[in-house]
Amino acid sequence: MTGAELSRALQCGRPSCKCSHSALRHCPVTSGHSHGDSDPSLSFTASGDKTLMKCHAGCSQDDVIAELRQRGWWGSSAEPTPTPIRSGRGSLVTSYEFRDAAGELVAEHGRFESEQGKSFAWRVPGKDWRDGLGSIGVHDLPLYGLRGVLEDAGAPVWVVEGEKAADAARAAGLVAVCLGGGAAQKTFGNTLDPLRGRDVILWPDNDEAGAAFMGRLAGLLPQARYVRPVVPQKGDAWDYFNAGGTVAGLHELLSEPGATVTIPDRDAITISLPVPAGDVRFEFTNMVQSVRSLEAEMRVMVLVPGKRPTPYSTRVNLQSSSAREGIRREIEGIYGKTDLGWPALLAEACDLAKETWRGLDYSVDLSAVALPEERRWAVEHFAPEGLVTIVFGMGGSGKSLVCADMALHCLYGMDWKGKRTRQTPGVLVIDYEDAEDEWRLRVQQLCDGYGWQFPEQGYRYMPGRAVPVADQIVQIRRLVAEHHIGLVVVDSAASACGGDLLDTTAAARLINALTDLGTTSIIIAHNTKAEDSKYPYGNIFWHNLVRATHYIESEQAEGSSVMDSVLYNRKANRGLQKPLSIHINFSPEDTGPVTIDLLARMPEKLRKPSMKGDLEAMLRDGEYDATSLAEATGYTRARVAEMLRTDQTFAFARRDGKRTIYKLAENVSIQSSM
């Protein structure tokens, strides 16, 4: 019997059987089928009078030939053992048939082995191995195993890298295919058309080339899922099943078809996108929304064997396609651009992050919220705990020194100018104005003035380095957690915001970043001239977005070592507080001690003219009625009488005929100094 006749004899004739559309035939040794094994296992190649065969179910070649002889399909017992086909490439081990949808043979892919190793060659019907594919391009070849795809329209299709792997997967009961060009193939013609709309599972070899190849297929088959079993380096489906792997085990490893979105924190979104050999993870943190942008810190990690393990980080405007394009080019320069499909991955991750952010619901039912036992303050009636406070004033008004003093008292848990503080293990100064030695001297002078020892630890300094606070909030957050920081001082707003003080976005980015930090923060800001004392200089958001603002005004005679200052509360949680008057006494020596003391009364030169203040000044000298006070101060009698009746600062002493005589309340001198 010729080789071609033997090949036909080992086919069962059933159109649905794998022996009709693959290189495998039925082994005559095993039972269970009309012509041997029910699942074809015999690798068989015939060329003229030379034949090579191998049973993948484990039968020896002698047993196979003996069974063929018994059936009369092999020559006499004196006939020699079949010899392998040989060519310049070595011995032909096996041949894989690529057949079209009608079952017609299009090409054969032969595997040869020699002392130099394995090699492959193509031939078309009626041609030799040396002729190759002729005018047929690899991208024009049908899928290897196409008939199985067409005959079982409802089954998942497993795409592997080579014919040997495809045969192993089919032997395990899967509908499996591969492409003729292997991992090097980059164009696909119409070959993938039978897979469109099907449940496709990509199974890459365990190497970078396999991952890249399946990545290219994933771009053309967006519905595809992935499976990544544990196999040796460069291992494939054959290695998996040969090591005892099961189909059930594969199903447990199947990836989800889409992205996985998690929300680890209130301003953080993590998106994992499956790719053939692993996952690409996008972490978006410190997200800040404005009218024209949604900005976030983006960290990209490629969890794929053979890829650069170091993450890529940048800041991205999720609403800007042009910014996204520049980032894509950077990423492709680092990780490569041909295998993972970065345009699609980046677009999907940014769009998912944007839509997830917009859909977050931070609302709560107030009936489920516990009432606070008390208002929590870092500095009583000055800086609310966990929120942002602004201290602003003219240059040279002592803002930085006052905030350094306040931070020192919080660190030691000492009352600050009559106000209780909540002790903190650490404070952090983020400085854009001076240098670390200037802040060290400032705190040392205060300690010397009070007779205190310089803090052994906990008073930390961080240079701003001209980097906006919002752009380094991840590092700041880490420092706050690592050193148990309870108070952050930012000096000053102009540099810390990273933009124009009049720009809404610049103000919002800084204040939102510090608010989301969840740590008590004090921003030192400025105003342009003394009469602009109601709000910090810049956009109104500097006043509206924080919980407390204080304006500091100071007076110091030329050449004097004494400065008198008043802190006016411009915004507060529970009503405006009375002005806080302090006295700063500098040492004649530049590095000498500094003391800051509470004043019982506001310095006269810093007292703001007001009707109430003028009335207080008059009544400190005696008792008056409304008419005489109006005449002395120049205000109308009606306005004076209204304030005297409604303000508890003033108390009447007695009635004198039709007149009511007024005097100051006993505690007014103490109240007016706060």
Q: Which residues, 6 or more positions from 267, have their beta carbon under 8 angstroms from its beta carbon?
A: 285, 286, 287, 516
- Tens of pLDDT along 330-358? 998 888 776 677 888 898 899 999 999 88
Q: Judging by DSSP bridges, how do beta strands 594-598 and 485-491 pair with one another? A: unpaired
pLDDT at 553: 92
Q: What would the pLDDT profile of 384-434 be if each residue is shown by its tens digit? A: 999 999 999 999 999 999 999 999 999 999 999 999 999 999 999 999 999
Section 510-530 average pLDDT: 90
**Residue 97 pLDDT:** 94
Measured between alpha carbons, how far is 187 from 392 in angstroms, rounded to an integer?
65
Confidence of residue 530 (pLDDT cuts 50, 70, 90): low
Pick among 3.40.50.2300, 2.60.120.1440, 3.40.30.10, 3.40.50.300: CATH of 377-606:
3.40.50.300
d(C-alpha 459, C-alpha 487), whole Å? 10
Per-residue confidence (pLDDT) for residue 322, from 0 to 100: 85
Report the pLDDT value the prediction gives residue 559, as an integer from 0 to 100. 85
pLDDT at 72: 73
The pLDDT of residue 44 is: 61
Residue listed under structure tokens 């915004």 = 571
What does R_g of the chain's alpha carbons equal in angstroms? Answer: 42
Q: What pTM does this model have? A: 0.52
> Hey, how many other C-beta atoms are within 10 angstroms of the C-beta on 148?
22
pLDDT at 15: 57
One-character DSSP codes across 283-321 = EEEEEEE-SS-EEEEEEEEEE-TTS--S-EEEEEETT-H
Across 57-206, where does the E strand assignment appear?
Answer: 86-87, 90-99, 105-114, 117-123, 157-159, 175-177, 200-202
Kind of pairing, strands 312-317 and 294-303? antiparallel
pLDDT tens column, 459-505: 999 999 999 999 898 789 989 999 999 999 999 999 999 999 999 98
Higher pLDDT, 572 or 19: 572
611-671 maps to which CATH number?
A: 1.10.10.10
- Distance from C-alpha of 581 to C-alpha of 555, rounded to nearest angstrom: 12
> What band does 57 get if pLDDT is binned at 50, 70 and 90?
confident
Cα distance between residue 317 and residue 287, in whole Å: 9
How many Cα neighbours within 13 Å face the side chain of 77? 1
- Helix, strand, or coil here: 629? helix
pLDDT computed for residue 566 by the predictor: 93
Give the chain's end-to-end CA distance (angstroms, integer). Answer: 115
CA 619 to chain centre: 65
Residues of the chain above pLDDT 70, percent:
88
Residue 655 has pLDDT above 60, yes or no: yes
Q: How far apart are CA 457 and CA 620, in angstroms?
A: 49
Q: What is the mean pLDDT of the chain?
A: 85
User: What is residue 283's predicted lDDT score, i.e. its pLDDT?
Assistant: 95
pLDDT at res. 78: 39
Q: Which of the two residues, 390 and 26, has the higher pLDDT score?
A: 390
pLDDT, tens only, 272-309: 988 877 789 999 987 877 667 888 889 999 887 667 77
DSSP-derived pairing of the beta strands 50-55 and 42-47? antiparallel
Give residue 26's pLDDT band: very low, low, confident or very high (50, 70, 90). Answer: confident
pLDDT at 16: 62
